[in-house]
Amino acid sequence: MVAISISLLRQYIYYSPNNHHCCYINMMPDMSLSTSSSLPFLSSSSLLPPPLSMQCMRSSHRSSIFLPTLLFLLLGFQALAVASIRVDVIRKPVSTFPAFREAPAFRNGDECPQPSLSPSARIDIAMTLDANYLRGTMAAILSILQHTACPESVVFHFLTTHLEQNIITSIRSTFPYLNYHVYRFDSGRVRGRISRSIRQALDQPLNYARIYLADILPLDVGRVIYLDSDVIVADDIRTLWQVDLKNHVVAAPEYCHTNFSKYFTDAFWADAELSKTFNGRRPCYFNTGVMVMDVKGWREGGYTKMVEDWMMVQKHKRIYHLGSLPPFLLVLAGNIKPVDHRWNQHGLGGDNWEGRCRSLHPGPINLLHWSGKGKPWLRLDSRRPCAVDYLWAPYDLYQSSSPTLEE
């Protein structure tokens, strides 16, 4: 009688046709075989490579016959066995939700007034929370706290379409000392107003949440800095916070040398009634991923409805291609408070089609912005980074649980 008990294939075996490597990722205990017959004892060490976290060997004549030989031997034992063979395949549960290292604690400098004693010293920052961009959000938060003299004076306001416990837990565990609030954004407010744009990511309801900041934030928030999740702040955020808005509801870097007409379709410019919306102002492009907003002024001026009205025009007549940006331009271009360009070195994610690498613009930089298709964490993970992505990497708190070839 032969009694064989096999706990086999507690490894993942894959073959990469690109580099001709056969890789074994040893994630669980080795195979064990026992026999009471006169058959020679077959140990796991005689079949499988040494138990490393990952092993790769270049495909050759020797390695090309390795797996067939292994399978042949195993099937042969099954044929010889009088008793049945039990094969257990156990996969270790894998969480797809990213894990992050805990960030260091940052404390206010001596020159910072206590927020509890001086509410005017508070700096309110709004960002969106999305699982797909959470890694970028974490890096952005770290950069803000690391470069300001008054990190304890910063209050974050996070907008999300779903109050996912995993995301909230990640924020709390990564930044245990962070002062923040989370608000649910009702995607139904924009779902019937969103038109298809040139990139699917621009069509997500959360991309339009910035329009509704005045409706979502508490009444005691009179001013807020809105930031996209793909930014790194390299200077004290207080400098941007203290910009003099004068009579404007939005302050942002303004780019008047950009071809403004390209943000709208020929149908828009050919319509005399629509195109005259810019009469009396000099419209210039600005990026809505970095802006200071007078929340009270926005609310009292009815700017949310103005933006929504242009979104409904777009539903009936295609007048632009780029998500939430063009309706902002239609309402505000030429009527914002300009901010120094150093506060938005944008376009580092390349264009909206291919995300090709771009170089930094000359001049001082206070904020790096990977607007465009290419995101630094994705390009770094794919091992095809752009040079500017290495400026983002030091702020990455992502804690990978997967073994790599270097480990």
For every one of its 407 residues, what pLDDT tens digit does the chain have, with 9 covering 90 and above?
A: 434 333 333 333 333 334 444 343 333 333 333 333 333 333 333 333 343 333 333 344 444 444 445 444 444 544 444 444 443 334 444 456 789 999 999 999 988 987 666 667 899 999 999 999 999 999 999 999 999 999 999 999 999 998 899 999 999 999 999 999 999 999 888 887 876 765 565 678 899 999 999 999 999 999 999 999 999 999 999 999 999 999 999 999 999 988 888 889 999 999 999 989 999 999 999 999 999 999 999 999 999 999 999 999 988 888 988 778 999 999 999 999 999 999 999 999 987 667 689 889 889 999 999 998 899 999 999 999 999 999 999 999 998 755 444 43
Helix 134-147 to helix 165-174 angle (10° resolution) is 30
Tokens of 108: 């206010």
* Neighbouring residues of 402: CB distance < 8 A, sequence distance ≥ 6: none
Using DSSP's 3-state secondary structure scheme, residue 131 falls into helix
Round to whole Å and give the CA distance between 102 and 48.
38
Using DSSP's 3-state secondary structure scheme, residue 169 falls into helix
Instruction: Count helices and strands (H / E) in the chain.
Output: 13, 15
Whether the model pTM is above 0.85? no
Per-residue DSSP letter, 235: S
* Neighbouring residues of 114: CB distance < 8 A, sequence distance ≥ 6: 108, 121
Using DSSP's 3-state secondary structure scheme, residue 37 falls into coil
Q: Which of 146, 136, 152, 137 is nearest to 103 (CA)?
A: 146
* Neighbouring residues of 154: CB distance < 8 A, sequence distance ≥ 6: 122, 123, 125, 144, 145, 148, 179, 237
Round to whole Å and give the CA distance between 102 and 370.
24
Q: Which of 128, 121, 204, 209 is nearest to 167 (CA)?
A: 128
